[in-house]
Amino acid sequence: MAEEKIEFPSGVSISLARNEFTISGPKGKVTAAIPPVTAKVEGNAVTISGSDKSFVNTAVALVKSATKGVTEGYTMKLQIVYAHFPITLEQKGAAIVIKNFLGEKNPRKAKVVGDTKVKVEKEFISLSGTDKYAIGQTATNLKQATHIRFKDPRVFQDGIYDAPQ
């Protein structure tokens, strides 16, 4: 039987409902599903126990990730690369519209997941929010929307890529 105890900083609260937990803090709140484990909230700590150590460790990692998200937040930077046709981005609701990619007439769209905030600055895109996984999925959606098929990637390097940190 594996068991882990996680302490929370002040200003962070957790609530459990069936197989989901919700962590609230100064930057917002994160809701996520946990694997089949038993979790008990005791003051400013939560105890996670279960028969399988891998499930317990997964639940602990999810709770720690969500705690960091609601206290510090997560950010990710992407870079817009183009050679000839300048790419323009604009946010429309829960999607980002990518215009003039490779001179195409039709715009491409990428979905913004969760409460991710998108900020476009010249040739850089900043993604920020409380949910690490929503930010990562939004970044992946942007990169996949500008994926070029049937052309040599050594020659056609236009697209959206991870920015050097």
CB atoms within 10 A of CB 19: 13
The half-sphere exposure of 41 on its side-chain side, counting CA atoms within 13 A, is 13
Residue 95: pLDDT over 90: yes
Contact between 80 and 125 (Cβ < 8 Å): yes
Domain ranges of the chain: 2-71, 74-162
Yes or no: domain 2-71 corresponds to CATH 3.90.930.12: yes
CA–CA separation, 88 and 5 (whole Å): 47
Options 3.30.9.10, 3.90.930.12, 3.60.20.40, 3.20.20.140; CATH for 74-162 is 3.90.930.12
- What mean pLDDT do residues 113-121 have? 94
Q: What is the mean pLDDT of the chain?
A: 93
pLDDT per position as a tens digit, 123-142: 999 999 999 999 999 999 99
The two domains 2-71 and 74-162 share their CATH topology (first three levels equal): yes
| pLDDT for the residue numbered 153 | 87
Catalogue the long-range contacts made by 87-94 (C-beta closer than 8 Å, 24 or more residues apart).
87/146, 87/158, 89/120, 89/125, 90/120, 91/118, 91/120
